[in-house]
């Protein structure tokens, strides 16, 4: 325990010097064993300091750590990879751009190719209401996955560096308390200690860990409808340098308490940047939903079929609807499945000393749920639209026959279009608090 290491050489195991020593009974004696007169007993003082130290470090023993965030980071890396609109980045700075490519983008391009050369109301509607929006939707969802990944990686970096800072402060506190012990006994002590907090640059470090191959620069340049975490990261400024003062044990306790509070406040400043980024992107999604999710406009209108001019290849229409559209849908479904693994508040749970019991997790989970829903809904939309497109080929086959009856059958399909929409992910109710502080929220089932 930290309280043992900070004041380990207490009367419980004895302390001696060339002049005097403290036995295990806590009584200060001369080298020949005679007690001081008047007698001096430090047992109560040491026990009090041990208790104070234990209380001081208690919340830090239960703070989040580096490892538990690994699953969330991995899940969002997979989701971003499934949605990535290009395989590489060309250019630097504001000139950086993602070169189109990858399984999902290739499938979307194939969908455009299937429709080339065909004309008609149905083809025009399918192209303008669905296919032409897929590139934007793909890029928007990739942007969300990327930003969510940045935020989790930054959270991971925050607690990694906070742990290093905490251990350094405890090490310095140990040295200061040993000096305080001498001060209490002999009237002499060690000097002051200070450390520059590593956690002050954690957000930027986390961004660098998640981004690779210039993708971060390209996302920032292209926009994709999102705000990246770098826009909210605290500026360089002056790095906090908590100081642990020498002197009496009470003075050391007070300065160590202040140093740990300074570290906590530095953590809060970094986490506040993450929360602002998540909230900003929730706002962007709400303001421009068409950039992130394929809407569900009617594929056909009840026009007089006699007025519809067309030039189509029914075979390609059926292949487009039954093969290419499901291929596109598969890419979005794979991304939704990967994103789902990013739920679970366990890594964010911390004692109330650090503020909210799960930090920015509720906002993160809300944005992650919107990404998952958008990907699932887009997959559903393009699958259903593809089925209608394939079925509409029958209408063109019957254009010289019972065209009105065929068109009415299609409208019946359109009216039932919303019957099996994906459910929007939702968080379960919080479980019973653990140890009076930690609260474990579960992801959607």
Measured distance CA(382)–CA(106) in Å, rounded: 15
Measured distance CA(312)–CA(118) in Å, rounded: 5
Q: 37 exposed, middle or buried (CB, 10 Å; 0-12, 13-18, 19+)?
A: exposed
103 pLDDT band, cuts 50/70/90, is confident
- How many CB atoms neighbour CB 137 within 10 A? 26
| In contact, 360 and 278? CB cutoff 8 Å | yes
Q: Which two tokens stand for residue 252?
A: 């050391």
Measured distance CA(77)–CA(363) in Å, rounded: 19
- In percent, the amount of the chain with pLDDT more than 90 equals 28
| In contact, 130 and 109? CB cutoff 8 Å | no
pLDDT at 433: 35
Q: 117 exposed, middle or buried (CB, 10 Å; 0-12, 13-18, 19+)?
A: exposed
pLDDT at 417: 53
pLDDT at 435: 34
218 pLDDT band, cuts 50/70/90, is low
Measured distance CA(333)–CA(376) in Å, rounded: 6
pLDDT digits (tens, 9 = 90+) for 300-338: 444 443 444 446 677 888 889 899 999 999 999 999 999
pLDDT digits (tens, 9 = 90+) for 377-399: 999 989 988 888 887 776 665 55
- How many CB atoms neighbour CB 32 within 10 A? 5
Measured distance CA(139)–CA(58) in Å, rounded: 45
Q: What's the mean per-residue pLDDT of the chain?
A: 76
pTM value is 0.78
Question: Which residue is it, tokens 């911390």?
Answer: 350
pLDDT at 270: 93
| In contact, 353 and 267? CB cutoff 8 Å | no
Measured distance CA(83)–CA(334) in Å, rounded: 9
pLDDT at 344: 92
Whether a cis peptide bond, with omega within 30° of 0, leads into 21 is no
205 pLDDT band, cuts 50/70/90, is confident
For 104-113, 140-149, 416-425, which range has the lowest pLDDT when averaged over its residues?
Answer: 416-425
- In percent, the amount of the chain with pLDDT more than 70 equals 65
Question: Which residue is it, tokens 């010289």?
Answer: 400
């Amino acid at each position: 325990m930290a309280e043992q290491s900070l004041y380990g050489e207490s009367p419980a195991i004895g302390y001696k010097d060339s002049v005097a020593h403290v036995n295990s009974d806590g009584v200060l004696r001369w080298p020949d064993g005679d007690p001081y007169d008047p007698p001096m007993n430090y047992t109560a003082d040491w026990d009090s300091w041990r208790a104070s130290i234990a209380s001081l470090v208690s919340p830090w023993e239960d703070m989040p750590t580096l490892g538990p965030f690994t699953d969330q980071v991995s899940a969002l890396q997979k989701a971003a990879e499934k949605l990535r609109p290009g395989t590489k980045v060309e250019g630097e700075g504001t000139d950086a751009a993602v070169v189109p490519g990858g399984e999902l983008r290739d499938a979307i391009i194939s969908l455009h190719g299937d429709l080339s050369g065909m004309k008609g109301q149905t083809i025009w509607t399918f192209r303008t209401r669905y296919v032409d929006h897929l590139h934007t939707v793909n890029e928007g969802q990739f942007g969300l996955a990327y930003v969510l990944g940045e935020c989790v990686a930054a959270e991971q970096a925050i607690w990694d560096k906070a742990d290093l800072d905490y251990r350094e402060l405890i090490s310095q506190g140990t040295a200061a308390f040993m000096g305080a012990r001498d001060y209490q006994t002999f009237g002499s002590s060690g000097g002051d200690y200070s450390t520059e907090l590593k956690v002050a640059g954690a957000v930027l470090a986390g961004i660098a860990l998640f981004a690779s191959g210039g993708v971060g620069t390209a996302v920032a340049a292209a926009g994709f409808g999102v705000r990246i975490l770098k826009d909210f990261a605290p500026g360089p400024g002056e790095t906090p340098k908590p100081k642990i003062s020498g002197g009496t044990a009470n003075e050391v306790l007070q300065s160590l308490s202040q140093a740990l509070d300074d570290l906590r406040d530095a953590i809060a400043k970094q986490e506040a940047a993450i929360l602002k980024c998540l909230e900003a992107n929730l706002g962007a999604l709400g303001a421009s939903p068409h950039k992130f999710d394929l809407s569900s406009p009617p594929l056909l209108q009840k026009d007089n079929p006699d007025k519809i001019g067309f030039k189509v290849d029914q075979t390609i229409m059926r292949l487009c609807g039954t093969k290419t559209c499901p291929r596109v849908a598969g890419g979005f479904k794979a991304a939704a499945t990967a994103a789902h693994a990013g739920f679970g508040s366990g890594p964010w749970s911390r004692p109330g000393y650090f503020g909210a019991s799960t930090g920015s997790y509720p906002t993160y989970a809300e944005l992650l749920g919107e990404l998952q829903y958008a990907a699932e809904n887009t997959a559903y939309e393009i699958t259903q639209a593809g089925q209608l497109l394939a079925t509409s080929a029958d209408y063109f086959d019957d254009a010289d026959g019972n065209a009105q009856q065929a068109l009415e059958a299609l409208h019946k399909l359109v009216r039932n279009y919303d019957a099996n929409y994906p459910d929007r992910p939702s968080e379960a109710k919080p479980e019973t608090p653990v140890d009076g502080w930690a609260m474990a929220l579960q992801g959607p089932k």
